[in-house]
Amino acid sequence: MLFRLLTITMIALVFHTPSSFAQQANNAQNDPDSGSPAFKTLALSGQLIIYGRNHHDALALILAADMRKKLALKFVQRQATEDGAESANASDAIEAILAEAAKFADGNESYLELIEDVRASASKGKSDGPAYNIRTIKARGKNSYRNIEFSGGQYAEIYVEGSGRANLDLFIYDAKGRLICSDTDPSDINYCGWTPPANGSYLVTIINKSNRSNRYSLMTN
């Protein structure tokens, strides 16, 4: 079983492809591999979720849920324009992944035991990982989050992950309205990282380019 889990991890590492480079400025990056360990884990677990859903692979989803739980994500309330007004906490989000895994397990007792192990496992004790919120964006909609604060001189990271049903684009603007970074590849997974020159607030905009709604997570450090 352990060999199987390690194999899935290697598959994710080999086939993990970073977002294509879009318009960017001020040395911003669209590749989570250039970011912190926490955001690398987010990106890797996100690829495992995609792999698990596309291949109905319960083990990939179980491993992704376990990785997310160990990150000790911190739930925050954020208001967005055109609010979809749907939110959930970390345990709900992880439970949704495990529920998909249980469906694909198709009664396999070994898989179901692993799911229960992840459910019963403790996180790091306090929510000190990346901050996140979960929201639904309507078809062809736009959600904007104003006044998201980042510290000057410290690498800032934003990761957006949809539910696999739409094309989401990410845009970051500074207080003067200048575009700092964007990720506009055709997926619903986006990443931007940059180093602010000073303490300041930023406008984060997510645009749904598809004709269907999408439930997404917005994560920041």
Give me the DSSP letters along 52-80: HHHHT-HHHHHHHHHHHHHTT-EE-----
Regarding the domain delimited by 2-220, which CATH topology (the fold level of the hierarchy) does it fall under?
A: Jelly Rolls (2.60.120)
pLDDT in tens, 21-35: 344 445 677 777 778
- Phi and psi at 168, nearest 5°, equal -110, 140
End-to-end Cα separation, the chain, in angstroms:
34
So what's the pLDDT on residue 9?
A: 54
So what's the pLDDT on residue 93?
A: 79
Per the DSSP assignment, residues forming a β-bridge with 206 are: 143, 170
So what's the pLDDT on residue 59?
A: 95
So what's the pLDDT on residue 72?
A: 81
So what's the pLDDT on residue 24?
A: 44
Task: Report the run of H or E that residue 135 belongs to, with start and end.
Answer: strand 131-137
So what's the pLDDT on residue 105?
A: 95
Largest CA distance in the chain: 56
So what's the pLDDT on residue 5?
A: 55
Q: Which residues of the chain have pLDDT under 50?
A: 3, 14-25, 85
So what's the pLDDT on residue 164?
A: 78
Q: Give the predicted TM-score (pTM) of the model.
A: 0.79
pLDDT in tens, 81-97: 875 545 556 567 788 89
